[in-house]
Amino acid sequence: MHKQGAYILIIDDEIEIIRALSRGLTAHGYRVLTARNGEEALKTVFQQRPDLILLDLMLPTISGLEVCRRIREESNVPIIVLSVKDQERDKVQALDLGADDYIAKPFGMGEVIARIQVALRHLARIQAGTAPRLEIGLLKVDFAQRRVWVGETEIKLTPTEYDLLKVFLTHRGKLLTRDMLQEQIWGAQGKGKLHSLHVHVAQLRQKIEPDPDHPRFILTTPGVGYRFDDEQGAS
């Protein structure tokens, strides 16, 4: 269930986009705030404290990337980037700066609502803290003992595989770039280990996925990174 009445801040300089999003969000029970440039956006964020932000990257006065960076310094409010296809580099950079997800323009309202629901659930889990045990479908994890099961079968993971799984589960539902994952697993020197990352993801899929050739948990976003999907039976 999405958070009824949550305040969504739309940051976009195109009035048509603002109007379309406002109508759709209001129809789904959300309350809407708007800003049409970077300066106005930052003022609204820190004065109104929205529950979620839809952020266009191409903004007057202050760029969307800079807006993202400044917000993330002060708040963990979910940020969903609105981007066009030729902004691949900026899109990835925004995710590395702390944005939670992105939606490519043009987009459908159904996709926007679905991404908002996922981001708000992710925020609720962060605020509630990580439970010592987690069950998602047949996947079971005991964080205290570093043990993992698929159904009734205990799965033996290498330390790196377990660390990777823990990062995915801590940020489940959130799109994680390859750079973010490399830094989380191997620290500041990890950005040269892209091949190793892909190998470990493949090995982890072989161990936890019901069908590794058609992943249900660890999903790939081409050119960007991975997302751990827990939308089918998390508890």
Band (130; pLDDT cuts 50, 70, 90): low
For the question of whether the overall pTM of this predicted structure is more than 0.75, the answer is no
pLDDT digits (tens, 9 = 90+) for 189-214: 777 888 999 999 999 999 999 999 99
**Are the CB atoms for 62 and 42 separated by under 8 Å?**
yes
What integer is the mean pLDDT of 5-11? 95
According to the model, what pLDDT value does residue 129 have? 52
The percent of residues above 70 in pLDDT, for the chain, comes to 92
> Over 80: is that where the pLDDT of 85 sits?
no
Most confident of 46-60, 86-100, 112-126, 167-181: 46-60
Looking at the chain, list the stretches that DSSP marks H as alpha helix, in order from N- to C-terminal side: 15-27, 38-48, 64-74, 88-96, 109-128, 159-170, 178-186, 194-208
